[in-house]
Amino acid sequence: MAGQDATAVWLWAAIVASGLYHGINPGMGWPLAVAAGMMGKSARALLAALVPLSAGHLLAMLVMLLPFAMLLALVQWAPQIQFAASLLVIAYGALRLVYPRHPRVLARIKPAQLALWSFVVAIAHGAGLMLVPIYLGLCESTGLDRGHEAAAMLVGANLGMALIVSVVHSVAMIAAGGGAAWLVYRYLGLQYLSRSWFNLDTIWALSLILVGAIALALAGRH
């Protein structure tokens, strides 16, 4: 029991850490909040821009997690689902390494449509996909995927867990992104951002592969 508790703590820590990691990445949109603040000439405009950015990111997390939450009702297939999800994350990370260019659809979304932009970019970067193996491990460690409960109760529990995971992750993401946006807006300026920030695309792709590989190793132990 102590082992399961420790695993759950580490998985929740991974959810928060991934949220902070996503938030710091300028690709998730916090420079748009800086631009909004500078155009509106107020910190209030910056904070207002963070709301649709966080809403779009949260929706992207739910879109990725909810199908797996429903699949976990098939208790007897839980190991296979975990295995397939791990391979999917690894494959997507490899694809991002080979084809790092952003989808053209992003260029067609106006920066003012912050919620839609945030949703699409999170899907395109595999942000929600990165959470899937962590989420599946969390469901297992808390005993939600054992066969003693009725399927309906199981679906409800997993859907609830998916919502909690998405909210916790998105709160961490917007806290980190908002903090970076405020720092650049208040003290550094966009010129510092253009000169000093580094590209995280390769690190992002490698982190997807790493998360998938860890999840694959854990799934192979069952």
184, 190 contact by CB (below 8 A):
yes
Burial of 215 (0-12, 13-18, 19+ CB in 10 A): buried
Give the span between the Cα atoms of 204 and 130, in whole angstroms. 10
Kindly give the confidence (pLDDT) of every residue in the chain, 222 residues in length, as a single tens digit, with 9 standing for 90 and above.
555 666 677 788 888 988 898 888 877 788 888 888 888 878 888 899 899 999 999 999 998 888 888 777 665 566 777 788 888 888 888 887 777 666 565 556 665 678 887 888 888 777 778 888 888 777 764 444 444 444 444 555 677 888 888 999 999 999 999 998 888 888 776 666 555 555 566 777 777 788 778 777 766 665
